[in-house]
Amino acid sequence: MSRAIEMVNQFNIPFGIVINKADLKSASQKQLNKYIEKAGHEILGRINFDLSIPEAMSYAEPVVDYAPESVASQAINKIYIKLKQTLSKL
């Protein structure tokens, strides 16, 4: 992730971070959260692990269409709204 951030910073591209499987506890997750917090980057949202995602993938459908009421779909919609608001300010 740090390489991707370096790249967008070199080109002056605004960005935000979306954390997938945010509810899974691991050492790398803790390390990622510390890195983001220390660097002060914006987190657009977090998507928790949700079995509706692989189910939707097995039907070749976006999870927001396959299971619009799922936890993942609701998180994605919130991220979309936040991203849209952020972009409208540019």
Evaluate whether the domain defined by 2-88 bears CATH number 3.40.50.300.
Answer: yes
Burial of 29 (C-beta count, 10 Å sphere; 0-12/13-18/19+): middle
d(CA 18, CA 42): 9
pLDDT tens digit sequence for 17-65: 999 998 888 888 888 888 888 888 889 999 999 999 999 999 999 999 9
pLDDT in tens, 67-76: 999 999 999 9
pTM, two decimals, is 0.82
- Give the start-to-end residue ranges of the domains of the chain: 2-88
